[in-house]
Structure 1
Amino acid sequence: MSEPGRIVIIGAGLGGATAAATLREHGYSGELVVLGQEEHRPYELPALSKGLLLGDTDEPDWVRDEGFYREHDIDLRSGTAAIRIERGARLVVDDKGTEHPYERLLLATGSRPRPLPVPGADLPLVRTLRTLDDALALRAAFSTAERVVIIGAGWIGTEAAAAARRHGVEVTVVEQAAAPLLAVLGPEVAAVFQDLHSENGVHWRLGTGVSELTGGGVRLSDGTELPADLVLVAVGVAPRVDLAHDAGIDLTDDGGIAVDATLRTGASDIYAVGDIASHFHPRYRRRIRVEHWANAKNQGAHVAGNLLGGQEPYRNVPYFFSDQYSLGCEYRGLADPDNDELVVRGDLAKREFIAFWLRGGEVTAAMNVNVWDDGEALKALVEGDATVTAQQLRESDLSALASS
């Protein structure tokens, strides 16, 4: 494919903004338009549920300095939402009626918080956490709230619980599963996080759902009333694929946009990255869709070369990190805790360990908790083809094991 004269990017989050910056770094000199719904310039999401919500900072990590887009001739249209893609005419129409012709189009529309399908979900005391404005409003609410109920014990829910406790708020977390983070970590490692929060004063209501949100709090499915003056709904996100659907671009069973290993959709001039991209991963030999910030950033950087005519498959494995109280961790890979063998190197009770998930001698995922010296070895073990045993993972030098 020849280099396009004009590229339009829908979505000014981390994926879209990184793609735009990388295009210029690759020497692309054509017209480059980025459409973003938010008024803020592009920023990264991790600080929203960590440093910013804790009160350690007042700003997120900006993708680029304020003047970068102007200096690099990137037409960043903040506060502008795309409302329609006309594939035949190869143009995007925004909410102001402006038409944006394209030769290549990148979809980087991200996700929205999933609503809780119960009565009262739209009451004023109910919040979600996805944007910078959400985080600032939630932090302000933590400073005045006395009792907070958090619905959902995934990464956002648990990080928000830690932040609320920092602000001195009484916190109850409601989760349908039997433990926080259970689907990602399995029962043994999930118990580490449950105990950590319990020691820091968080109350748990596990194995139960919500039947109604009221002006005074939360009514659980077993009839229990949890009084609250603030409710955070953190039950996951839904990919923003409406534009793609309406344009006739193929979607997948996992709710994403179907893209190949190069991140290209079934339309040869349209690509997708980030939360919305259900891409065929060469390592896993199947489609995966990842909702973590590093995936959006790395795919945004990678797709730039393919937008300019490259055909390189995206091979990075998933990565994320979390900070909760005195616990810090990094996770690499893609485990199936129900079927993979858990191997622990270190001490779960002391919260200083590395957890491996092993399948057929292959490390499917690794998570280091308050252990910081082995990151490169863990990355190599997860990405490589080495066949290892549980005993080797517990006892051998990890760098040597990764290079064997």
Structure 2
Amino acid sequence: MASEASPAIWTAAPPRRGAFAFASLFAMESFARALVATVVSVQAHDLLLSSQKVSVLFTCVSIAVLVSTLSLPILFRHVPRRWIYTIGIIGLIVASLAFALHTLPGQVGGMYLRNIGTATLNISLSLYILDHIRKADLVRSEPMRLTFSAASWTIGPFLGVWLYETYGAWAPQALSIASSILVLTFFWYLRLNAHPVIRAATSGPQNPLANVGRFVSQPRLRLAWFIAFGRSCFWSTFFIYGALLMIEGGLGKEASGILISLSQLVLGTAYLFGKISERTGVRKVISLSFAVAAVAAIAAGYAGTEAPILAGAFLLVGAIANSALDGVGGIPYLRSVRAHERPQMTGVYRSYVDLSDLLPSFIFSFVLLYFPLGTVFYILGALMAVVGFVAWRYLPRTM
């Protein structure tokens, strides 16, 4: 197999891919992950029988994933990107095999491998998008990518929980494995090429701490990371504690799957918010979306397990706001990162996902020792308000 550095095969030969190709690939990958998304929380609760213990489990796994993610730029230096994407898919497959065991060790291993696999896929895809899509077109291509994935995230969470409840732990994992194989087949069919500027950048700093220092020294990247961290905190809290709220509110496991699926149905509005951003600017859409998400989260916390249906309705309002953030919230980073630093900086930037899993779970594991489940949404709402204010204050008006 020729090296990715060979321009004769992997730079000049494959055609440049457009937004449609990346949106299709992301939608297929999303379905493989969405099938397991709610099952992870439900199965963890079945094994541990406590929301507080589930928080501790997610905290421990997130710490391990964070350390691994910060080291991924080293992998990108030595391994061709197409193989890194392939490794990510294999990680999802092995994670599903571990989940299917329905044991605590299998749960821990599955969570770690699933998160690492997702990290490698997200970083690889982000780099490919930066290679193939002009920065001026990102405000259209990114919402399209989220819109295409809406069907995957609408069907997947409920279908996964239904299969889990009806046929057992192996059923959603078997379908996820089949979907992952389909993703890998389509990926290799696309023959995506890496930009020569990215390959030439391997002489840059590869020490994870040096990469973090370089990232933190750039104000635009810090701001982009904080915005991404805020929107990711909403989803990590929603997926874990929204599902647990349905269960502890007496509505059952399938209700948690329905809630997650309904929340993802609104991802189809991402394209609409992209169009709005073209006219009004990304800054206004991001700031207003955080404000709406803050109010919705606090209202959901007030309803709590005493009124789980009402709480779920408020969370869905917050999900609509967060779908706007999913559509355009990554644009500040994509427009700010320098071409020659993309692999290193994207590895650091991607840490927002791991920290959005780690910090809320860590905080909530203590909060839930003394306060009811609805309290986590009060904390989430406060965070959304802070991030929204920072975005409004510091994002350029022209963005």
Q: Structure 1 length normalisation: TM-score? A: 0.25
- The structure in which a higher percent of residues are helix is 2
Which structure would you say has the larger RCO, counting Cα contacts within 8 Å and 6 or more residues apart?
2
- Which has the larger Rg? 1
Higher strand residue share: 1
TM-score by length of 2: 0.26
